[in-house]
Amino acid sequence: MVSFCIKPSFLKQAAIILLTKEQVQEKKFSFSDKQMVDLLESAVTAMQFEGARSEIFPVVVDKKVILFIGLGKAADVNLTALRVVLRRGLLSPNLRKLRSIEIVLHEDSVQIAQAAVEAVVIGTYAWKKYITRKKDDQSVDIKEYAIVTHHGQKAHQAAIVAEGVNFTRDLINDNADTVTAEALEKTVRDLVKNVKGVDLEVLGRKEMESKGLGLILAVNQGSNKKPRMVIVKYSGAGKDAPYTAFIGKGLTFDSGGLNLKPGGSMETMREDMSGAAAVIGTLKNILTLKPKKNLILAFGAAENAIDANAYKPGDVLKSYSGKTVEIGNTDAEGRLVLADVLSYVIRNYKPARIVDMATLTGACVVALGHDYAGVLGNNDDMIKNLLVSAKATDDRAWPLPMYPEYKEAIKSKIADIKNTSNVRGAAGTICGAEFLHQFVGETPWVHVDIAGTAFVDGDSHWYYGHGATGYGVRLCTHYLLNN
């Protein structure tokens, strides 16, 4: 829980005070409480605190715990570093048993206040649903934070968006047999229930069969779970205003199909619905922020499992668009699901532009690691604006090229197109995007490959911790609010 105040009140239990090295050396502090100033000056005089990055100096006075935390040299302080350092302070053992914590920023600006909120909401998140709590554990899980800022409105909006991020993380982190396609449908139904200006369309297996959504059905046919396509139409602007579509890949679990993933590559594959989860988190933000925009939020949800009915390498499938697809590898299934969703949304909803998000290719992890998503598309202005949002939100992204020549790499001798590249081991991310491109036509479109950024298997060197990051929620929310 995050609250905001205008002036320092110094809560009864604890406070965190952020300081740059220069502020410590020059004794120019962002707070005026004389007792705190005296404590800090004593620590500096005793050479116990100098403001180095991530340096923490705790003191206890009048039954209050005060943490002085260094940010390092002012020139080296950026918003990411601020989030990282503040998160470390928030997770300090000194605060484990305390409920109320106040944060005094080294500088009060909109961007710093927003970053501090994200450090609190995103940085202190932990997936603990299945952890049995020990009887002697006296730590306090639900804390109240007060951030001292004059930018309460913007900070409050940042908290809403960050809660949307954590909502997404909960969906991704839970068991694949819990967060099924039907469960994702129910999540959306619960969000939009009784909301005016929202229309919902859900396609189950029967509707998909009657409409010819052959690709998503094939991916799911080895599973005993039911597939879904979910489409939310949010009308926040005039009826003549264009619609922007956000579309997500929702593989609730991906075994790789008959092209089975090896050990070490399957254990976290509940994350393969991170694109769909990010769309749902963005929807949650939209319903709270109520932007005056026309939006479509859609995803296809399926499970790529194995049984006697599983689709096979070498199969030729017919898509909703009418294109036929040769299956070169059953583990290239996400692009199949997305292809049908893209085609369906374009034909039936006619959006002016589309952004899709998907954990599409391991090649993107090879190319960009775990810190940047890959961005590709057919519209330079959209790519440029999306990259602006990526920089503003710390959902980092990097552009990759697309040229007509890449179409040659996904040609098939027995079908219209192939779901794998004919050039083994080369440009996998680009070829995956080119496959999607064939189902978009002339609609302005950007594809965001989040394979490397959606999930952290181990502690992040950023401010996420272990598990789902909720990548894409901040990015899409910022993009829709500003474009």
Q: What is the DSSP string of 42-111?
A: HHHHTTS----TT-EEEEEETTEEEEEEE---GGG--HHHHHHHHHHHHT-GGGTT-SEEEEE-SS--HH
Cβ atoms of residues 254 and 210 within 8 Å: no
Verdict on whether the full-model pTM lies above 0.85:
yes
Q: What is the pLDDT of residues 110-144, one digit of tens each?
A: 999 999 999 999 999 999 999 987 766 767 778 88
Label residues 348-387 b or e (16+ Cβ within 10 Å = b): eeebebbbbbbbbbebbbebbebebbbbbbbbeebbebbb
325: tokens are: 């697809």
Tell me which residue of 303, 304, 249, 302 sits closest to 275, measured CA to CA. Answer: 249
Q: What is the pLDDT of residues 78-109, one digit of tens each?
A: 999 999 999 999 999 999 888 889 999 999 99
Q: What distance in Å separates the CA atoms of residue 165 and residue 454, rounded to the nearest whole number?
A: 11
Domains, the chain: 2-150 (3.40.220.10), 161-482 (3.40.630.10)
| pLDDT value for 6 | 54
Which residues lie below 8 Å from residue 372, measured CB to CB, with a gap of 6+? 396, 397, 398, 452, 453
Please tell me what DSSP assigns to residue 237.
S
Q: H or E element: which one contains 391?
A: helix 380-393
Q: What is the pLDDT of residues 357-389, one digit of tens each?
A: 999 999 999 999 999 999 999 999 999 999 999
β-bridge pairing 228-235 and 198-203: antiparallel
Tell me which residue of 128, 12, 106 sits closest to 61, measured CA to CA. Answer: 12
Tell me which residue of 230, 202, 204, 227 sits closest to 216, measured CA to CA. Answer: 227
Question: Tokens 């100096």 belong to which residue?
Answer: 57
| pLDDT value for 478 | 98
Q: Name the β-bridge partners of 353.
A: 244
Predicted confidence (pLDDT) at residue 449 exceeds the cutoff of 90: yes
The residues carrying an active-site annotation are: 261, 335
What is the chain's mean pLDDT, rounded?
A: 93
How many angstroms separate the Cα of 447 from the Cα of each of 117, 304, 339, 418, 472?
A: 29, 22, 12, 19, 12
| pLDDT value for 199 | 97
Please tell me what DSSP assigns to residue 270.
G
Cβ atoms of residues 70 and 21 within 8 Å: yes
| pLDDT value for 420 | 95
| Ranges assigned E (strand) in 83-197 | 100-104, 144-148
Which residues lie below 8 Å from residue 124, measured CB to CB, with a gap of 6+? 87, 90, 91, 143
